[in-house]
Structure formats: C-alpha cells, structure tokens
Chain A
Amino acid sequence: GAVVSQHPSRVICKSGTSVKIECRSLDFQATTMFWYRQFPKQSLMLMATSNEGSKATYEQGVEKDKFLINHASLTLSTLTVTSAHPEDSSFYICSASGGAGTQYFGPGTRLLVL
C-alpha cells in the first residue's frame, strides 16, 4: 500500500512554543490530506482537511489560528500547533487520500507540552 510518513515521531516542548509536524506522501501525489487528533483511550477525531493549493477546511470546534495547516505541494502537508499548552498534548495523525474513500495514514506524532 501507499506510504505516508510523519516527522517528528514524538516531540516534547515547553508551554507557549510552536510545534510543526510534517506529513509526506512518499510514493503518490495527494491533493487532499487529513489531520486527526487522538487523546488517550479515545478514537480519532478529524481536525481539518488539507487541500493542496487552497485553504484548509476545519472541523467545528477546531481553532484555525491555533492549528495552522499548509499544503504547499502534492506530497507535503504541515500542521503547526501555535502557542502550545498542556491540553494540546495528544497523538496527531495525518492521512493522505487515495481513491474511493481509502486513506493512507502516517505513523503519528506524539506531542507532549510541559
């Protein structure tokens, strides 16, 4: 299957700093990528849809100014958590859209904000 990578795999940062997470589709072009967040013992929650060359679409309740998404190329989408706080600590997962609703997921990035 298609391969999606994420970098970094885990990050620890101080409260108030910004953290950038990269999502790359390694062997195919993805016009649409998705960003999810998963808290411990919970399911994945869709945060936003990242569209190449246009603005991201955010789900209800997700602050677009806090979670900045850039999809500058067909193989790269980035999520920047601005002014991170301890409540932003979570497992962030990206996916790239294949055909017929199929999505290929990255391995996830674990963020811990101290």
Chain B
Amino acid sequence: DAKTTQPNSMESNEEEPVHLPCNHSTISGTDYIHWYRQLPSQGPEYVIHGLTSNVNNRMASLAIAEDRKSSTLILHRATLRDAAVYYCILPSRLDTGRRALTFGSGTRLQVQP
C-alpha cells in the first residue's frame, strides 16, 4: 500500500489560509487521495478527496500535483474550530472491493487567535 508523509505539526493564525502538505511518492494510478481530520475526543471527519484534478468543497480545497506525488489541503480561512489532527490517506482496496483507511500520525494544526 502506498504511504503518505506529513509534517507532525503546523501553526496558523485565525482568519489566515493554511496549506497542509502531504507527500505520497509511491501512489499508484488508481489511488484516491483522501483527507480526514479529527478534533479532540471525537471520531474523524471526512474533509475531501480527489484523484487527479483539484477539488473544492465547503470545507476545503485539495490541490494535487501534476505527477500526483504530493497534494496540499487548503483551508482558506482558518478558525479556532479548525484546530485538529489532519490525516492524508490513500485508501487500500480490500478483497470485498471496499477500501480501508490506514491512519498515520497526521499533522496537528494549531490555530492561534
């Protein structure tokens, strides 16, 4: 399974954009890039996913490098509620056809007021 590499932690100021990087140099052509986040004492929350093209939704944007070996999650205006651990994951396919998530250590984002 392809692995991802993320910085352990990042800091941001409230109301400023945040760019969270992820390297996945061994990604295969069919691997989707998923991002989840986990707030303290809660289950993870789906943020966004993409395959090749950049993606936008109400929570964030996902910028995918042309060679797909890296991606960046973009929070356009960080709020205190965005303080969480962000996970970049390439789901692996199970025998059933479903895909499982393997969580790494993620990036702990701190947002300063």
Q: Do A and B come from one complex?
A: yes
Give the interface of A toward B (CB within 8 A): 1, 4, 6, 31-32, 34, 36, 43-46, 49, 51, 57, 91, 93, 95, 97, 100-108, 110
Contact (Cβ within 8 A) B49 A102: yes
Tell me if A32 and B98 are in contact (CB < 8 A).
Answer: yes
Could you list 18 A-B pairs, sorted by A, with CB under 8 Å? A6-B43, A32-B96, A36-B103, A46-B101, A46-B102, A46-B103, A49-B98, A91-B41, A93-B43, A93-B44, A95-B43, A95-B44, A97-B99, A101-B91, A105-B43, A107-B43, A108-B43, A110-B41
What is the size, in residues, of chain B's interface with A at 8 Å between Cβ atoms? 24
Cα separation A95 to B100 with both chains bound (whole Å): 10
Query: A-side binding surface: helix, strand, loop or mixed?
Result: strand
Q: Is the interface of B mostly helix, strand, loop or mixed?
A: loop
Across the interface, A100 reaches (CB within 8 A) one of B36, B99, B100, B102, namely B99
Whether B100 lies near A34 (C-beta < 8 A) is yes
What's the minimum C-beta distance from B9 to chain A, rounded to whole angstroms?
13
Chain B residues contacting A110 (CB-CB under 8 Å) are: 41
Q: Is the CB of B106 within 8 A of A46?
A: no
B76 to chain A, nearest CB (A): 19
User: Contact at A100–B49, with CB atoms within 8 Å?
Assistant: yes
Query: How far does the Cβ of B60 sit from chain A's closest Cβ, in whole Å?
Result: 14
The docked-state distance in angstroms from the alpha carbon of A49 to that of B45 is: 19
Contact A101 B102 (CB under 8 A): no
Q: How far is the CB of A28 from chain B (nearest CB, A)?
A: 13
Q: Which residues of B contact A97 (CB under 8 A)?
A: 98-99
